[in-house]
Amino acid sequence: MSKKGIFFPIRYRMVFGTFILSMIVLFDRILISVAKDPVANDLGLSDKEMGWVLSIFALGYALFQTPSGYLADKYGARKILAGVVSLWSIFTALTGAVFNFSGLLVVRFLFGVGEAGAFPSMARAIFSWIPVKERGLVHGINFSGGRLGAAIALPIVAWLIDLTSWRMSFVILGALGVLWAIVWYGWYRDRPRDHKSMSENELELIEANTEKVNSDKLPLSFSKMFGSKAMWLLMGQYFSSNFTFFFCLTWLFPHLKAKYNLDIIEAGFYSSAPFFFGALGNWVSGYMVDTIYKKKKWSLSRKLPAIIGFSLAAIGLVGSVYMNDVLGAVIFISMAVFGADMTLSPSWSVCLDVGKEYSGSVSGTMNMAGNLGSFFTALAFPYLVAFTGSNTPFFFLAAALNVLAIPMWLAIKPERALKLN
């Protein structure tokens, strides 16, 4: 066993890798939003058709969460994460090759299928490598990577599209994902003790503070998982969280650009602000989760950050409706995203708490429900605007969902493991 990694633990290098992947995930995901106008113009698509393009990703992403989590549990995060990153990166690049509406729907759906394995596989890697007392902050760091990736992507991708074309932008980002997958497969190992650079001290720390996996565990019972009240509570609250955040990934950029008559660079600048606040929300929440947990208040460490987050999200969404200038609207939307992202670290921490060695499947199932929320968000915004002539009903609907998530969290019991076999 090597003595390397004493000064910078190997597990933190793993977290750095998943942090970078989280950035890539959101880079690839938000590109279609920034490219909406040139894509729609080239392919002759209406706003409703673009709504389907934006939402079809979330459908593929949602439907394959549980299967991808199951595969990560069974075959390990090394193979599955390298495989799914390669898969979605190929379909990212192929997006630049489509020439009609139906082709775009197929490619974006398959792109979603590939990305479905990202966070459940990361959760499985965290379960194996990260001590329980560090998991809240690690989840916060990973999800903040996605928010920073989206924030950085908005102006950079706008510039990249302007410099090259929307088609070439998809190819470039697809190549970046394949490169990450190659590096991950070569470096990561499913068991920390199999990593050649792992020190004896760090291995002892990890193995003493992570749950033991039963090598001959019984198969997961999907009927028991979907028959669990706790599972449905986790799914319901995550649906609400994603409903809020996915608006920023899909319609915030074109919404601000059209409503406040902004050019593409201005819209990219203002649309990026909520993602920085989302990253901050992840850090704050992750710190709260671990700090409260260390005070022997396990349940409170999960519930309090989530309840505060959903409250802030509801206030921010309603407040944004009454702003007449772009800066005021962005400030309140940033508050909403800060709050919505405060719910992520406790959500994924609870999945590891109650899922144990089935954490990939449990987190994937929760994320499936959350991304059904994303699917409905991308469609609800354009259809509600077309039906009511105003975007106000959408924001009140999103706020109501955040309020409903609070009693769900009050009923969640993270200290009770699910009986899944």
Q: What is the pLDDT of residue 214?
A: 59
Number of residues that this document lists for the chain: 421
Q: Please write the tens of the pLDDT for every residue from 394-419.
A: 999 999 999 999 999 999 988 887 87
Which pLDDT does position 105 carry in this prediction? 94
Q: What is the pLDDT of residues 120-162, one digit of tens each?
A: 899 889 888 998 888 888 888 887 887 888 788 777 888 888 8
172-176 mean pLDDT: 92
What tokens appear for 47 in the block?
């706003």
Tracing tokens 């009923």 back to the chain, one arrives at 411
Per-residue pLDDT tens over the stretch 220-266: 777 888 888 989 999 999 999 988 888 887 788 888 888 888 877 78
The two three-digit tokens of residue 334, written as one number:
């940033």
Residue 5: predicted pLDDT: 47
User: What is the average pLDDT score of the chain?
Assistant: 87
What confidence score (pLDDT) does residue 171 get?
92
pLDDT > 60? residue 167: yes
Is residue 217 very low, low, confident or very high in pLDDT (cuts 50, 70, 90)? low
What's the rounded Cα separation, in Å, for the pair 273 and 262? 15
Region 23-34 average pLDDT: 83
CA distance 303 to 300: 5
Please state the rounded mean pLDDT for residues 108-120.
Answer: 90
Going by pLDDT thresholds of 50, 70 and 90, the confidence category of residue 7 is low
Q: Give burial (CB, 10 Å; 0-12/13-18/19+) of 253.
A: buried
In this structure, what token pair is assigned to residue 7?
A: 């000064």
- pLDDT tens for 41-56 read 989 988 888 888 878 8
Helix/strand/coil percent split, the chain, to 5: 80, 0, 20
Bigger pLDDT: 216 vs 379: 379
Phi/psi zone of residue 45: left (φ > 0), alpha (ψ -120 to 50 degrees), beta?
Answer: beta
The enclosing H or E element of 342 equals helix 326-342
pLDDT in tens, 316-375: 999 998 888 899 999 999 999 999 999 998 998 898 888 877 777 888 889 888 878 877
DSSP string for 53-112:
HHHHHHHHHHHTHHHHHHHHHHH-HHHHHHHHHHHHHHHHHHHTT--SHHHHHHHHHHHH
What would the two tokens of residue 318 be? 């309603």
Q: SS3 for 226-294, per residue?
A: HCCHHHHHHHHHHHHHHHHHHHHHHCHHHHHHHHCCCCHHHHHHHHHHHHHHHHHHHHHHHHHHHHHHH
For 323, which DSSP code? -
The answer to whether 289 and 137 are in contact (CB under 8 A) is: yes
Burial 50-72 (b: 16+ CB within 10 A, else e): bbbbbbbbbbbbbbbbbbbbbbb
Mean pLDDT, residues 99-119 taken together: 91
What per-residue confidence (pLDDT) applies to 111? 93
Judged by DSSP in three states, 2 sits in coil
Whether the pLDDT of residue 4 is over 70: the answer is no
Question: Can you tell me the distance from the alpha carbon of 404 to that of 105, in angstroms, rounded to the nearest whole number?
Answer: 32
Contact in structure between 339 and 307 (CB atoms under 8 Å): no
- Is 166 within 8 Å of 53 (Cβ atoms)? no
CB 194 within 8 A of CB 6: no
Residue 221 CB contacts under 8 Å (≥ 6 apart), including other chains: 420, 421
Residue ranges and CATH numbers for the domains of the chain are: 10-411 (1.20.1250.20)
Residue 147 class from Cβ within 10 Å (0-12 exposed, 13-18 middle, 19+ buried)?
buried
Residues 6+ apart with CB under 8 A from 115: 25, 28, 29, 57, 61, 84, 88
Q: Which two tokens stand for residue 12?
A: 């933190």
